[in-house]
């Protein structure tokens, strides 16, 4: 992408007073958002909409954590607004779009802008995320499996990894940053609540970086076994964008149907892959893990150095002092990490049980000390209620999905974020197993990601308000 076209405001901007900010993800750069940028520009010229693709948090800078990344993005937005003002354009509306980790960085930046009073003079319009891990990237696991993957794995990705696996302690709160972002008393939550439209898109299969439950802010996964359900799509966007009001229904008996080829590939491919994956783990993974760990140590050291320099620079003191609780070998190493993560089968709560009930969660979504455990270890969900059996109606089976074995903090985050009334759109990309990149067409010339164009078309035509 031409960085001057997408990331730098025009020297002679149009009259549009609506600024849309695009924020890339982990180890990303502005070029990843080229298709989103160009799709918006094709629909709205500068007389209506101004675009900013953030670039100050690119590449290895994304290792530095959500907090530092959010400060960089907030400063870039402020500088852009001032730039337009100097050129005779007063920004009166703002939209923010985050891809992957960029969605969390955007939520942090929103809290900073809210704290500084920007939303008193600029109307927040659209907040959209594509494949963003709103609940972190912990795999729902119980027992010792949790500690091997979620606790040890988190320590290989510098500050960002600790925050995504929720083993960090944000500033003086003794709580993970992600739980603070979703706290109803935080500036992050209050700022996000002011956006007129809150929309998210989540892959239902094959997202090795950000699985369904976290990108969709969901305690269940109705798409876990696609052979058992029929998926319903939005008219005009089939077979990619799933109908959020009626996503699935029981599949007819297998003797009565023949699954579509794309469905059979999606289901069978996973099973066929098990055998070669075992061979790959035995031969290639040890080498890949060694490269990954060596690279992680290097990136962690460099990240802490950047954070220290960032914190000592006077221009950032304005952000770090804000009251936040107010009312290529890299690609190889990361791919190994993603493959292992993707192959882990999530655990569910025991049948007939639910997660820890509201009695232990405090009032108005506040978190209690009893939820935290010791050293941020997972507190096993207590069996406190028995789910009532739902009677069958008109001879149809009722679709029920078991509750995933999430951390109690994640259940509270779901409760609070759902109160914001996100519009959630499931996405089924059939033609590629790297759906995390396909959902935004991360490389416009990549033909195997063409299904993502349907997702972006839906967002631009149906969801984005100017």
Predicted confidence band at 258 (pLDDT cuts at 50, 70, 90)? very low
Any domain includes 388: no
Cross-strand bridge partners of residue 433: none
Cross-strand bridge partners of residue 393: 396
Any domain includes 375: no
* 127-132: average pLDDT: 98
Q: Are 380 and 412 in contact (CB under 8 A)?
A: no
Q: Are strands 229-231 and 248-250 parallel, antiparallel or unpaired?
A: antiparallel
Report whether pLDDT(49) > 50.
Answer: yes
Report whether pLDDT(327) > 60.
Answer: no
Instruction: Give the pLDDT confidence of 54-108 residue by residue, as tens digits.
Output: 999 887 777 788 999 999 999 999 999 999 999 999 999 999 999 999 999 999 9
Any domain includes 392: no
Question: What is the C-alpha separation between 49 and 63, in angstroms, rounded?
Answer: 31
User: Quick one: DSSP state of residue 341?
Assistant: H
Kindly report which listed range (53-62, 71-80, 184-193, 442-451) carries the lowest average pLDDT score. 53-62
Q: Are 355 and 406 in contact (CB under 8 A)?
A: yes
Kindly report which listed range (112-121, 139-148, 259-268, 440-449) carries the lowest average pLDDT score. 259-268
Q: CB burial class (10 A; 0-12, 13-18, 19+) of residue 4?
A: exposed
Kindly report which listed range (95-104, 386-395, 454-463) carries the lowest average pLDDT score. 386-395
Any domain includes 185: yes
Question: What is the C-alpha separation between 189 and 313, in angstroms, rounded?
Answer: 27
Any domain includes 337: yes
Report whether pLDDT(377) > 90.
Answer: no
Kindly report which listed range (106-110, 238-242, 312-316, 360-364) carries the lowest average pLDDT score. 360-364
Instruction: Give the pLDDT confidence of 214-227 residue by residue, as tens digits.
Output: 999 999 999 988 98
Any domain includes 198: yes
| Percent of the chain predicted with pLDDT > 90 | 50
Any domain includes 174: yes
User: Quick one: DSSP state of residue 63?
Assistant: G
Question: What is the C-alpha separation between 103 and 273, in angstroms, rounded?
Answer: 31
pLDDT at res. 388: 34
Any domain includes 105: yes
Q: Are strands 49-53 and 123-130 parallel, antiparallel or unpaired?
A: unpaired
Report whether pLDDT(167) > 50.
Answer: yes
pLDDT at res. 263: 37
Predicted confidence band at 396 (pLDDT cuts at 50, 70, 90)? very low
Report whether pLDDT(397) > 70.
Answer: no
More confident residue, 72 or 380: 72
Predicted confidence band at 238 (pLDDT cuts at 50, 70, 90)? very high
* 392-407: average pLDDT: 65
Report whether pLDDT(134) > 50.
Answer: yes
Instruction: Give the pLDDT confidence of 277-304 residue by residue, as tens digits.
Output: 455 445 544 555 455 445 555 555 555 5
Cross-strand bridge partners of residue 200: 129, 424
Kindly report which listed range (129-133, 232-236, 269-273) carries the lowest average pLDDT score. 269-273
Determine the straight-line distance between the first and last CA of the chain, rounded to whole angstroms. Answer: 24
* 150-154: average pLDDT: 61
Report whether pLDDT(21) > 80.
Answer: yes
Mean pLDDT across the chain: 77
Residue 107's CB: how many other CB atoms inside 10 A?
27
* 176-183: average pLDDT: 96
More confident residue, 256 or 59: 59
Report whether pLDDT(466) > 70.
Answer: yes
Q: Are 211 and 223 in contact (CB under 8 A)?
A: no
Question: What is the C-alpha separation between 214 and 437, in angstroms, rounded?
Answer: 16
Report whether pLDDT(3) > 60.
Answer: no
pLDDT at res. 48: 95
- Please report, for residues 33, 168, 406, the alpha-carbon distance to residue 1 in angstroms, rounded to integers and kept in the order given: 9, 35, 39
The domain tally of the chain equals 1
Predicted confidence band at 349 (pLDDT cuts at 50, 70, 90)? confident
Q: Are 360 and 371 in contact (CB under 8 A)?
A: yes
More confident residue, 335 or 421: 421
**Containing domain of residue 215, as a range?**
3-347+398-463
């Amino acid at each position: 992408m031409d960085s001057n076209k997408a990331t730098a405001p025009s020297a002679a901007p149009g009259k549009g007073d609506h600024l849309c900010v695009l924020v890339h993800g982990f180890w990303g750069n502005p070029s990843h958002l080229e298709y989103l940028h160009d799709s918006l520009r094709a629909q709205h010229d500068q007389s209506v909409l101004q675009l900013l693709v953030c670039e100050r948090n690119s590449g290895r800078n994304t290792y530095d954590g959500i907090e530092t990344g959010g400060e960089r993005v907030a400063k870039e937005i402020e500088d852009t607004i001032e730039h337009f003002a100097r050129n005779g354009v007063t920004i009166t509306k703002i939209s923010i779009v985050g891809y992957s980790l960029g969605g969390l960085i955007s939520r942090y930046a929103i809290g900073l802008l809210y704290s500084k009073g920007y939303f008193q003079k600029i109307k927040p319009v659209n907040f959209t995320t594509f494949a963003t891990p709103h609940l972190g990237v912990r795999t729902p696991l119980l027992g010792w499996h949790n500690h091997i993957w979620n606790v040890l794995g988190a320590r290989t990705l510098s500050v960002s990894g600790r925050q995504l696996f929720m083993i960090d302690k944000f500033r003086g709160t003794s709580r993970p940053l992600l739980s603070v972002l979703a706290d109803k008393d935080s500036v992050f939550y209050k700022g996000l609540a002011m956006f007129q439209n809150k929309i998210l898109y989540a892959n239902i299969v094959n997202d090795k970086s950000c699985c369904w439950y976290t990108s969709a802010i969901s305690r269940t996964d109705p798409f876990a076994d696609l052979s058992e359900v029929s998926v319903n799509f939005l008219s005009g966007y089939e077979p990619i964008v799933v109908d959020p009001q009626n996503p699935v229904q029981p599949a007819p008996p297998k003797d009565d149907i023949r699954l579509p080829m794309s469905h059979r590939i999606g289901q069978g491919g996973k099973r066929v892959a098990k055998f070669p994956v075992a061979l790959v783990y035995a031969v290639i993974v040890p080498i890949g893990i060694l490269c990954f760990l060596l690279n992680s140590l290097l990136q962690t050291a460099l990240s802490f150095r950047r954070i220290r320099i960032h914190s000592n620079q006077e221009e950032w003191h304005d952000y770090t002092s804000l009251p936040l609780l107010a009312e290529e070998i890299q690609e190889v190493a990361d791919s190994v990490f993603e493959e292992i993560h993707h192959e882990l089968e999530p655990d569910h709560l025991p049948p007939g049980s639910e997660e820890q009930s509201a009695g232990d969660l405090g009032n108005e979504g506040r978190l209690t000390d009893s939820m935290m455990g010791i050293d941020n270890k997972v507190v096993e969900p207590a069996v406190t209620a028995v789910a009532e059996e739902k009677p069958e109606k008109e001879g149809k089976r009722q679709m029920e999905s078991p509750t995933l074995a999430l951390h109690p903090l994640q259940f509270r985050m779901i409760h609070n974020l759902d109160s914001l009334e996100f519009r959630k759109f499931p996405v089924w990309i059939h033609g590629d197993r790297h759906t995390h990149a396909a959902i935004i067409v991360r490389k416009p010339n990549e033909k195997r990601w063409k299904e993502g164009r349907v997702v972006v078309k839906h967002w631009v035509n149906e969801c984005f308000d100017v």
